[in-house]
Structure 1
C-alpha cells in the first residue's frame, strides 16, 4: 500500500534524508520517534552564515551575528533566505482524485523566516554552542588567534549575497536611512571622531570620491558607528539630534553595523586597488584616508576588548594586539610611494600637524646633542635618537641587562626608540588632548621584528607594551583610548608578576600621578 506522507513531519526532515524515507518500512511508533530524534541530531544548518560555511562548522543561524562569529570576533554575513516552494502533498488512496479548487498553497516552515529584521534572534540555539553573551576573552583559547582584515588579504570571488561596490552595483541600494544618520553623526561630531578639524574634511572627500572610491565612504560610516557605539552611554550635548535619531540602536547593534561596513569597505578596497600601481597619484588620497580610518577603527575595536580581559586569557589580547600592529604596517605601504604627492595635495593641512610636531622634536634633539657635544657629556635625558629621555631610559637599561640574543635586543631597541619618538611627538603637538597622532605613530612605525617577539610573549616586549600603555593613558581624552592604557598596564603587571615589578614601576606610577 502506498505510504501517506504527513506535511508537518516531512517538512521538518532534512533533504539529505529523503532517499532514506523512501526505503523505510512500516515501524512501530517508538521506532519512528527514535528515527526522528536521530535525524534531528544530525540536522544541518541550511541558512548558516558565510563564515561558518567557510570554516565547515555548524552555524546556529542566530542573526544578526551567530554565536561562533561573536566568540571569534569575525564578520558575520548571512545569505538572503531562500523561500522553498511548497511540497506537493501525496494523497492517500481513499482521498478524492482532485484537489479543492480554492485550497491556498501550503508554505512549508523554514528556519529563520522572520530574521530579516536585524534585531531579532532565532529561537533555536543548540546547547553545545558557547554563550554568545559572554566576553570572548572568557571563552576557551581558540585554535588560531582571531584574524583581522589586512591589506594583503585575499577575498573570495564575489558571491550573490556579498555587499557590492563599484559601478556594476550602482543599481542596487548600497546605503540605507541608518547610513545617512551615521553620516550626519560624522559631520556634526567634527572634533570628536578624528583629530581636531579633520573629520569634516575627510567626510567631504569621501562623498566627493564615492563614485571612484566607494570604500572610503563605507569606512568613514563604519568609524562613525564605532564612535556612536562607544559614546552612546554618555552622548555629547552637541550630538543631541544624532543621538536621539539612534535611540533605538544599541551599542552592540551599532558595532555589528560597523563591522558590516568595514567588511564591505575592505573587500571593495581590495577589488578597486588590485590593478592600481602603488604610486598612482590619482587614487593616493582616498587610499591614504581609507588606511588611516581603518587603522583607527581596528585600534578602537582592539582596545575595547581590554576591558573584558581576564588573566587566564591574557594571551588572546596580546595576539589580537599584534594583529592590530601588523595591520598598521599596511598604512606604511600605502603612504610611502605617494607621500610627496600627498604633501602637495588638499591633505597638506591634515598631514602638517604631525610633520610640524616631528620637526620640533628633531630641532630639540639637534640642540640637545649640540649642547652635550659642547660640554663633552650629556645628562642622559636628551632627546637624541641614541639617548632617549626619561620615559624610555629605563627600557634601554633593562635591555642592556637582559640575556636575550643580539637580534632580539636589536629589535626591542628599535621599538624603544620608536616609542620614545611617539612620546616626544605627543609633547610637541598643538592639540592639548593629543588626539590619535602619537599613539598611531608608534603603531605604524614599530618594526615587524618586535611584533614577532611580542607574539612570543617575551617579558621584555611586554614591558615595552606597558610603557606604550602609559602613552595611551596620556591620550585618554581621545574617545578611542579612554582608560584602555590603564587596563593594558595593569594587565601586563599582573601577568608578569612580582619579578618584573621594577620594570613596570614607571607605567604604574604614571597611573597614580596622571589621572583625571
Structure 2
C-alpha cells in the first residue's frame, strides 16, 4: 500500500505554531491570523532577512533601534561569513535580562543560574542559549506590558530556532550532553507553561486545556532525560548540588494532607476502576510532594509548581486530554499551588483562571469536589506572601 502523503504544515507561521493549529501558509498573512486579527510572522522571513543583513557591509545602526534578526548562531565568531547570523544588540539585552528573570523565580535560594560552570555550558550550546534568550524575551513580554507583542514575537522566533537546531542535532544522552539537554528541557518546560498560563488571550477553556495538555506532554520529556543511568550522570555533573537539594525537597515518603486526602477519598468512593484510581492516586501523591517542596523551599521558588507536571504519569495527562471530570478536579487542586505563586511572573493569574474555568465547566454537581480550590481563592495562605 502506498504511503500517505504528509499533510502537516512544516512552514507555518509562528502564531499558528504557538497555538498548535494547522497553518495554510498564505503570505503575507495566513487565513487563521487574518480571521482572528493576530500578528502573522514566518520564521523563514527573519532568517532570510538576517542572512541578507550579514552579507552587507557593516553599518552602525541608529542608537536605540533594535534589529529584528533574532536567531542566534555561533557565538565564538560573530563576524564570520557563515550563514549563521551575528549577535546583535537585542541578544545582549536578552542575555543580561535572563539572569534577572531567573533570579526573580528563585529569590532566597542558590539556583543553578548562579553557577559559573552552568553559564559557560549555556554559552557554549547554541540551542540552549537560544531557548534561554527566548525565556528572557517571554519574561520581558510579561513585565513590560507596553511591548508585550514585540517581546512575545521575539520569544517565539528564538524558541523556534532553538527547537530547529535541537531537532537537527539528534543528540544521544551521554556525559557530555546530559547537562545541556536537562537544562534545555527545564527551560523549555518553563517557557511553554508560562505562555499557556499568562498569555491566554481570549481563548476558550477547551483551547486552553489543549495547550496545557501539550505543555504537560512536553514536560514529561524531562523524565526521559533524567531516567535510568542519565540521572547518575547528572548527579556527578556540575548540577550535583541543585539536584541533591531537589531530592531533599521532593520527598515521596509523606502522607497526604487533609485536602488531597479528602479528594482521594471521593475518587476511591466513586469506584472508577483500579487502573484509573491508581493513576489519580499517583497524581495526588505527586501534588502533595510538590506542595511540601514549595513549603520547604523559598516561597519565591518555582520548583514545587513546575515539578508536578514532570511527576504525573502519561496516563493522567491522557485522562486530562479526554476531559475526564476527576482529572479536571485534580488539575483544579494543582491550580491552588499555581495561585499561591501568582506573584511570580511565570504564573500570573493562571491559577485563578484554572479554578474558575474548571468550576464553570463541570458545573454545580461537582461543587463538593472543588470545595478546596474555590475556598483557596477566598483565603490568603500565610505561607505564600509576596514579601
Structure 1 length-normalised TM: 0.60
- The alignment partner of 1:250 has SS state of helix
Q: Quote the Cα distance in structure 1 between the aligned partners of 2:258 and 2:236.
A: 36
Given the superposition, is the C-alpha separation of residues 174 and 266 from structure 1 closer, same or farther in structure 2, using an over 3 Å criterion? farther
Partner of 2:96: 184
**Residues 500 and 218 from structure 1, CA distance in 2 versus in 1: closer, same or farther, beyond 3 angstroms?**
same
Aligned residue among 257, 279, 282 for 1:414: 282
Structure-to-structure mapping, 1:289-300, within 5 angstroms: 289-300=183-194
1:461 is aligned to: 327
**Contact 2:11–2:25 (Cα < 8 Å) also in 1:** no
Shift of residue 393 of structure 1?
Answer: 0.9
What's the CA shift for 1:303? 0.7
1:176 Cα shift?
Answer: 1.6
Q: Which has the larger radius of gyration?
A: 1
Offset at residue 190 of structure 1 (A): 5.2
Matches within 5 A, 1:90-105: none
Q: CA RMSD in A?
A: 3.6
| Structure 2 residue aligned with 1:379 | none
Indicate how the Cα distance of structure 1 residues 448 and 356 shifts in structure 2: closer, same or farther if over 3 A, else same.
same
2:356 to 490, 493, 499: 490
* Correspondence for 2:126 among 195, 204, 214: 214
The residue that corresponds to 1:59 in the other structure is: 26
2:345 is the counterpart of 1:432: no
The reply on whether 1:338 has 2:230 as its aligned counterpart is: yes
Rate the CA distance shift 1:465–1:68 in 2: closer, same or farther, 3 A.
Answer: farther
Change over 3 Å in CA distance of 1:424–1:197 after alignment to 2: closer
Residues 287-313 of structure 1 show CA distances to partners (whole Å, capped at 9, x for unaligned) of 11111111110110011244645xxx2
What residue in structure 2 maps to residue 205 of structure 1? 118
Q: How far off its partner does 1:271 sit? A: 2.1
Question: Residue 277 in 1 paired to residue 172 in 2?
Answer: yes
Q: Quote how far apart the aligned CAs of 1:401 are.
A: 2.2
Q: How many residues align?
A: 346
- Contact 1:325/1:444 (<8 A) preserved: yes
Superposed counterparts of 1:15-34, under 5 Å = none
CA shift, 1:409, in A, is: 2.1
Match of 1:232 among 131, 141, 144: 144
Contact 2:72 2:85 in 1 (8 A): no
**1:74/1:450 Cα in 2 relative to 1: closer, same or farther (>3 Å)?**
farther
Asked whether the 8 Å contact 1:51–1:75 carries over to 2, the reply is no
Which residue pairs with 1:405 in the alignment? 273
Match runs of 1:248-267 below 5 Å = 250-267=147-164
Answering whether residue 220 of structure 2 is matched by residue 329 of structure 1, we say yes
Asked if structure 2 preserves the Cα contact closer than 8 Å seen for 1:193 and 1:224, the reply is no
Report if aligned partners of 1:303, 1:484 keep a CA contact under 8 Å in 2: yes
For normalisation by structure 2, the TM-score amounts to: 0.78
Deviates further, 334-343 or 184-193 = 184-193
Closer, same or farther in 2 for the Cα pair 1:76/1:404, shift >3 Å?
farther
Query: 2: CA distance between counterparts of 1:490 and 1:507?
Result: 9
What corresponds to 1:77 in structure 2? 43
Partners of 2:230 and 2:352 in 1: how far apart?
Answer: 36
How far the C-alpha of 1:270 sits from its partner, in A, is 1.9
- Segments of 5+ residues of structure 1 without an aligned counterpart are 1-48, 84-116, 120-160, 234-248, 366-382
Counterparts of 1:356 and 1:470, CA distance in 2:
23
